[in-house]
Amino acid sequence: MSLLVLKKRPLTRDSGSLRDDRLFIVACDDTYAPEQYFNFFQLPRVQVYVVPTPINNNRCHAIDVLQRLQSIDFSDDDQRWMLLDTDHFDKGTHLKEFTRIIKEAENKGITVALSKPCFELWLLLHYVDESLVDRLIDAAAVEIKLREVLGEYNKKNLKKDHYSLESVVIAFQRARALDAITTGGMIPQANTSRVYKLWEQIIKNALPSQLPVEFQHFPF
């Protein structure tokens, strides 16, 4: 079944779930890494559904991400997010259309979290201080650095043990500090990742008393 005709709200509940579970519906321009990454984490009263990106995706445009997100049914309590890379699309003739789609998404109540140059910068911040990522000029450079610090990196096969709960808290702090000094507003002018904003909302909407100990004093 094509996702473009899927209108069922993608919330599954086991017998212990409650009716007011919070759902985050996330669409990305990355085919592999974000879906695997968020599937590593299971938090009480929260579900993160990453809309699958087509396997034949080739430098997916923001409009494609928006259309896939809009194909999924949602309720008023759900949060909808787009995770977008700026690599190739924040400059030249692409910039005007890229900006237009971001504004259109936000007008529809969708939150956009950009990563410059790519989602892998967020993964790298689990291991590398924010002061050390500014010279990574593109997605390829970020992946090379990830392989250097992890000993391996294959976006088709992320390893759960590379992304502990403790490292998520560290990445959050680093990404927030980095973004605080990044100029450009909607379109960042330097390397940054705003995936931390999605994590902030996920933790705020989880049941505090059932959060893992690593998140009980989350650095909001």
Boundaries of every domain in the chain:
21-210
Cα distance between the two ends of the chain? 40
Structure tokens at 59: 């430098």
Amino acid at 172: F
- Give the tokens for residue 103: 């504004």
Q: Which of 43, 29, 27 is nearest to 204 (CA)?
A: 43
Confidence (pLDDT) at 23: 96
For residues 100 and 61, is the Cβ–Cβ distance under 8 A?
A: no
What is the b/e burial string over 52-85, where b = at least 16 CB atoms within 10 angstroms of the residue's CB?
ebeeebeebbbebbbebbbebebeeebbbbbbbb
For each of the chain's 220 residues, which pLDDT tens digit applies? 233 334 566 765 444 444 568 999 999 999 999 999 999 999 988 999 999 988 765 557 899 999 999 999 999 999 999 999 998 777 778 899 999 999 999 999 999 999 999 999 999 999 999 999 999 999 999 999 999 999 999 999 999 999 999 999 999 999 999 999 999 999 999 999 999 999 999 999 998 888 999 999 899 8
Q: Distance (Å, rounded) from C-alpha 26 to C-alpha 218?
A: 22
Geometric angle at alpha carbon 83, from 48 and 7, rounded to 5°: 55
> What's the pLDDT at 2?
33
Closest by CA position to 214, among listed 157, 159, 173 = 173
Radius of gyration of the chain (CA): 17
